[in-house]
Chains A and B, each alone.
Chain A
């Protein structure tokens, strides 16, 4: 039997993941709720009614990071527990399709998360109006989401078949995502300042480079995580 084209496999896998999520609501609602709760926690923890500048950008990015760790932890669990991996490995499909499908699914989760979290942040904590910052913020969000999706997929696949996956997922992904948070927070900082500044292109370039490097690494190494 010849291998089906990668695009077909990719579409099928992505459809499967999104359908599972739509039917079970396992990850995304929890991520969104978690982010809103974390904003409330920051309000009490910092004793601040509104934030601007570097503090605002830091709170937003740390919250988004922690919320996405929830999604990373759940990303491969259904496949590992209910035989999705075995089924996929039995098929002649290209292994890289699974990496790409999972990364795209995680990316979709992150986008939905941010559709809730960013307005909630603007409403609850942000002092300057979100309007002028929005175009720049969207660019930073896109670049950071790609980084989180790539590293999250790699780490999720690494952690899922271990005994302590709920612990190892965050322990592995948080240090690896520090550069993403650092770059994204630095890039967002001037947008949230009381006198909004320009988007720092240097940090965008760094984020893009980081995404690219780990996308290549994930592409090269993902096959080895699937073998049995």
Chain B
């Protein structure tokens, strides 16, 4: 069900990423101050934007879960947050490299965008431990959804508050991007955002397909041989796949 058109999506993601990378390396002009180092901007900023949107998407999916009580929405929300967490680690690493090159320090505190991103990562880092610590699958799903919604609301508010509190060093990426980026850089930047978003969607679909396939496999095994020869489910923070509703 989830696997449909996944190959086409994966191929277009691959093509978009390759094209972006080629344009970043060979077509976009070098920055006047930072030179080649500035090119990490085309990875770092799209990653950050996609991560935050992914967290918010996880919150929206969690709202759907609480409204419909359909465990598939919980799984979607879980996978969205999981992938965004992985992307978020990438944001912190690329951001540190950029900060070291541009400002001379691996970490800069008077930097609202960095600090609020770190806070958001610290909050979301507790998502999986929270799931892991609740045994009853339905309550786990409900608690995780409540967390995902609260944290999804926290994302923009936290950004606004931390930004109000500090002096600015970081380029205000979203507010004045069209103002201070020359044409070619702008084209490549938007292309990079699209490619990273495509990558996120592909990974999300891929993970959903995989979870769905294992749920179906489990259901088939149960139909064939009963429960006794099945290995006990590994303890996991992921939603339990047995009640996702596969083959009956």
Contacts and interface: CB of A to CB of B under 8 A. Distances in A.
B133 A217 contact: no
A221 interface: yes
A171 interface: yes
Interface in A20-66: none
A18 to B, nearest CB: 27
B147 A179 contact: no
Contacts of B11: none
A81 interface: no
Given A225-B142, A228-B139, A182 B161 contact: yes
Interface in B100-149: 119-120, 122-123, 126, 129-130, 133-135, 139, 142-143, 145-147, 149
A202 to B, nearest CB: 8
Contacts of A225: 142-143, 146
A176 B204 CA distance: 27
A168 B142 CA distance: 16
Contact of A158 (B130, B157, B161, B162): B130
Contacts of B157: 179, 210, 213
Interface residues of B, number: 27
Interface string A161-178: 111110110011011101
B142 A154 contact: no
Interface in A188-228: 202, 206, 210, 213-214, 217, 221, 224-225, 227-228
Contacts, number: 77
Nearest to B141: A224
A168 B150 contact: no
Given A162-B133, A213-B157, A176 B123 contact: yes
Nearest to B152: A217
A128 interface: no
A213 B149 CA distance: 12
- The CB with the most chain B CB atoms within 10 A, among A179, A202, A206, is that of A179
A51 B139 CA distance: 47
A171 B119 CA distance: 12
Contacts of B83: none
B66 interface: yes
A186 interface: yes
A221 B65 CA distance: 12
B149 A168 contact: no
A103 to B, nearest CB: 15
B153 interface: yes
29 contacts: A158-B146, A161-B134, A161-B139, A162-B130, A162-B133, A162-B134, A163-B135, A168-B126, A168-B129, A171-B129, A172-B123, A172-B126, A174-B122, A175-B119, A175-B123, A175-B126, A176-B123, A176-B150, A178-B158, A179-B161, A182-B162, A186-B165, A202-B164, A213-B153, A214-B150, A214-B153, A221-B146, A224-B142, A224-B146
Given A221-B66, A227-B142, 12 more contacts: A158-B130, A168-B129, A168-B133, A175-B154, A176-B150, A178-B119, A178-B158, A179-B161, A206-B161, A213-B157, A214-B150, A228-B139
Interface of B: 66, 119-120, 122-123, 126, 129-130, 133-135, 139, 142-143, 145-147, 149-150, 153-154, 157-158, 161-162, 164-165
- In the A-B complex, the 8 residue pairs with the smallest Cβ-Cβ separation, listed nearest first, are A162-B133, A175-B123, A163-B133, A179-B161, A171-B126, A175-B122, A164-B133, A221-B146
